[in-house]
Amino acid sequence: MTSPGAFTELRASVADTARQVAARGLVLGSAGNVSARDGDVVAVTATGVHLIDATVDDITVVDLDGQLIEGALRPTTELEMHLGIYRSTANTSVVHAHSTSAVALSLVTDELPPVHYQQLLLGGAIPVVPFAAFGSEQLATSTVEALAHHNAAILAHHGSVAVGQSPTEALDRIVLLEWLCEVYLRAAAVRQPRALTPADLQSVIEMAIATQYGEKRRV
């Protein structure tokens, strides 16, 4: 048995990330959801919650089988997608958004090709998961499969999802994905966007390793 409020810190981190997702314009109203895992426990936004106003009380705690541990509200209808990701990967955070550019891109292509080298942070070319009804087993399964080798995916006619080792990392990745989708769409309005080649991406990887790219270093 756990004591009341044992997961307050975990729930607070999910609520904070949910508010940030909304503040960045990645969701409307009660659309989208956020979760974080700590061991065999998952804190996730409840269904019907407007993310911009999310509080600790709007976060439900369940186990990996979806059984309620703490909270008074039903978890998001996308719970099985979150739990499926946690069961099959080592990620500890998931952010799902209904962002404009990701949805728009999903209507015109089956994949976001690598249009910028930062896309390597997401796993390269990003798949568009075929449409399935929200909350369905089919959508959960397809999304988990898409994330087997990627840190983000686009859901056709629906939105986007990103994973990470913390809520902040998952949020950063879904923001990056939205930016990449916007870049692609702007370019596509002029002509077919050019994609980076495998050789281009390999050169970026080698340079990043050689320069310790992204790490703070003293002069």
Q: Which residues are catalytic?
A: 78
Please say whether the beta carbons of 93 and 170 come within 8 A. yes
Q: Which residues contact 112 (CB under 8 A, 6 or more apart)?
A: 105, 119, 125, 126, 128, 154, 177, 180, 181, 184
Going by C-alpha positions, the residue among 134, 198, 166 that lies closest to residue 36 is: 166
